[in-house]
Chains A and B, each alone.
Chain A
Amino acid sequence: MIERVGAGILAALAWIGDVTLFGLRALREAVRPPFEVGEIVRHVYEIGWRSAPLIATSGFAIGVVLSMHTRASLERFGAEAMIPAGLALALIKETGPLTCGLLMSGRVGAGIGAELGAMKVTEQIDALEAVAVDSFKFLAVTRILACIIAMPLLTSVMDFCGIVGGFLAETTISGMSWELYFRRAFSLIEFDDFIPSTLKTAVFGMIIGTVGSYLGFTTTSGTEGVGQASTRSVVLASMLIIVSNVVLVKLIFFLFPEPA
Chain B
Amino acid sequence: MSAGNAPAIRLERVTKAFGSRKVLDDVTIEVPQGTAFCLLGRSGTGKSVTLKHIIGLLHPDSGRVLVHGRDVSRMKGQELSEVRRSMGFLFQNSALFDSISVGENVAFPLRRHTDWPDAKIREVAKAKLADVGLENDFDKMPADLSGGMKKRAGLARAMALDPDILLVDEPSAGLDPITATEIDDLLVGLKRKGTTLVVVTHNIPSAKHIGDELAFLHDGHVIAQGSAEDLERSDDEMVRTFMRSEGSG
Contacts and interface: CB of A to CB of B under 8 A. Distances in A.
Interface of A: 118, 122-124, 126-134
Nearest to B51: A130
B91 interface: yes
B84 A123 contact: no
Interface residues of B, number: 26
Contacts of B109: 131-132
B85 A132 contact: yes
B242 interface: no
Interface string B95-109: 111100000000011
B84 A132 contact: yes
Given A131-B157, A132-B81, A123 B112 contact: no
B98 A130 contact: no
B108 A122 contact: no
Contacts of B88: 130
27 contacts: A118-B98, A122-B93, A122-B98, A123-B91, A123-B92, A123-B93, A124-B97, A126-B91, A126-B95, A129-B55, A129-B56, A129-B84, A130-B55, A130-B57, A130-B87, A130-B91, A131-B84, A131-B108, A131-B109, A131-B112, A131-B160, A132-B81, A132-B82, A132-B85, A132-B113, A133-B81, A134-B77
Contacts of A133: 81, 112
A121 to B, nearest CB: 10
A127 B112 contact: no
Interface string B38-70: 000000000000001001110000000000000
A130 B97 contact: no
Given A122-B98, A127-B96, A132-B81, 19 more contacts: A118-B98, A123-B92, A123-B93, A124-B96, A124-B97, A126-B57, A126-B91, A127-B89, A127-B91, A128-B97, A129-B55, A130-B57, A130-B84, A130-B89, A131-B84, A131-B108, A132-B82, A132-B109, A133-B81
Nearest to A115: B99
B84 A127 contact: no
A73 B157 CA distance: 65
Given A129-B57, A130-B57, A130-B89, A124 B113 contact: no
